Amino acid sequence: MMARLQSTDDVLLSVIVPAYNEAATIEATLRQLKQVPLRVEVIAVNDASTDGTGTILDGFAGSGLGQRLVHHPTNRGKGAALRTGIAAATGSVIVAQDADLEYDPTELPRLLAPIKEGRADAVYGSRFQGGPHRVLFFWHSVGNNFLTLVSNMFTNLNLTDMETCYKMVRADVLKRLPLTAERFGIEVELTARLAQAGARIWELPISYSGRTYAEGKKITWRDGMAAMFHILRYNLFPPRGKWRER
pLDDT tens, per residue, the chain with 246 residues: 455 665 556 899 999 999 999 999 999 999 999 999 999 999 999 999 999 999 999 988 767 666 799 999 999 999 999 999 999 999 999 999 999 888 999 999 999 999 999 999 999 999 987 765 655 557 677 878 899 999 999 999 999 999 999 999 999 999 999 999 998 899 999 999 999 999 999 999 999 876 454 444 556 667 678 889 999 999 999 988 778 766
Q: Is residue 133 part of a domain?
A: yes
- Domain presence at residue 3: no
Domain count of the fold of the chain: 1
Secondary structure of the chain in the HEC alphabet?
CCCCCCCCCCCEEEEEEEECCCCCCHHHHHHHHHCCCCEEEEEEEECCCCCCHHHHHHHHECCCCECEEEECCCCCCHHHHHHHHHHHCCCCEEEECCCCCCCCHHHHHHHHHHHHCCCCCEEEEECCCCCCECCCCHHHHHHHHHHHHHHHHHHCCCCCCCCCCCEEEEHHHHCCCCCCCCCCCHHHHHHHHHHHCCCCEEEEECCECCCCCCCCCCCCHHHHHHHHHHHHHHHHCCCCCCCCCC
For 63, how many CA atoms within 13 A lie in the half-sphere containing its CB? 13
Q: Give the CATH number of the domain where residue 231 resides.
A: 3.90.550.10
Domain extent, residue 70, equals 12-236
d(CA 59, CA 48): 16
245 part of a folded domain: no
Residues 71-91: pLDDT tens digits? 999 999 999 999 999 999 999
Beta bridge partners of 46: 19, 71
| The model's pTM | 0.89
Classify residue 145: in a domain, yes or no: yes
Q: How far is CA 7 from CA 28, 69, 121, in A?
A: 31, 27, 14
Amino acid found at 185: G
Q: Name the region of 77 (left: φ>0; alpha: ψ -120 to 50; beta: rest).
A: left
pLDDT score at 213:
44
